[in-house]
Every structure is written in structure tokens, then in C-alpha cells.
Amino acid sequence: MSAKNELEELFLRRKPVRLLLNIKNVTGTKYVSVLAKETDCTYSHTVKLLDVFKSMGMVEFEKQGRIKYVKLTPDGTALATDFESVLRKFAKFAPKKK
């Protein structure tokens, strides 16, 4: 699978985008179990997604004791900001309630 297809496959799904945005909307750093809960995702799926994000250079991990904290890299922050913009535009196209 090409890199382009891999990115499309990853980010044209709800949970990866929500996870990226949840990391962005945090002041400081958060640990994985909190992100999993906020994203409505299992812990193991969250870890898998974060490993993919890390391999793409979008997140960094900081381990303190037994807790692994997650924060966005500058590229990850830029991508999350772009997704926020796209989601705001999607909201404009949402059907109007009668």
C-alpha cells in the first residue's frame, strides 16, 4: 500500500481524527488511558493508533514512571489544526433542522 493510501485509510475514519484532535485540545500532555476514554476507543486500539502516529512523526511519548504521556509534534499540531478547519466546514454543510 502506498503512503498516500495509508494516510487516507488512517484519517478518513472517525476515531483517528478524534484522537488527534483530543491530543491537540489538551493543555500540556495526557496519558493514553485518558485519551482512549475521551475518544470513546479501547485502550489497545488507542495504543495502536498512537504507534502509527509516532511512526509518522505526529506524536511523541514521554515516559514518567509507569505512565506514558503523549504530545503532538509540530507536524501533528499542524495536521490537527487542518482537521479542525475541515470539520468546521463540514458543520456548515450539515442539514438544517426544521
Q: What percent of the chain has pLDDT over 90?
A: 51
Return the percentage of the chain with pLDDT > 70, whole number.
83
Rg (CA), the chain: 14
Residue 92: CB partners within 8 Å, gap ≥ 6? none
Q: What is the pLDDT of residues 11-55, one digit of tens each?
A: 778 899 999 999 998 776 788 989 999 999 999 999 999 999 999
pTM over 0.85: no
All domains in the chain, ordered by first residue:
3-93 (1.10.10.10)
The helix/strand/coil state of 68 is strand
| Res. 94: pLDDT tops 90 | no
Q: Which residues contact 83 (CB under 8 A, 6 or more apart)?
A: 11, 17, 20, 21
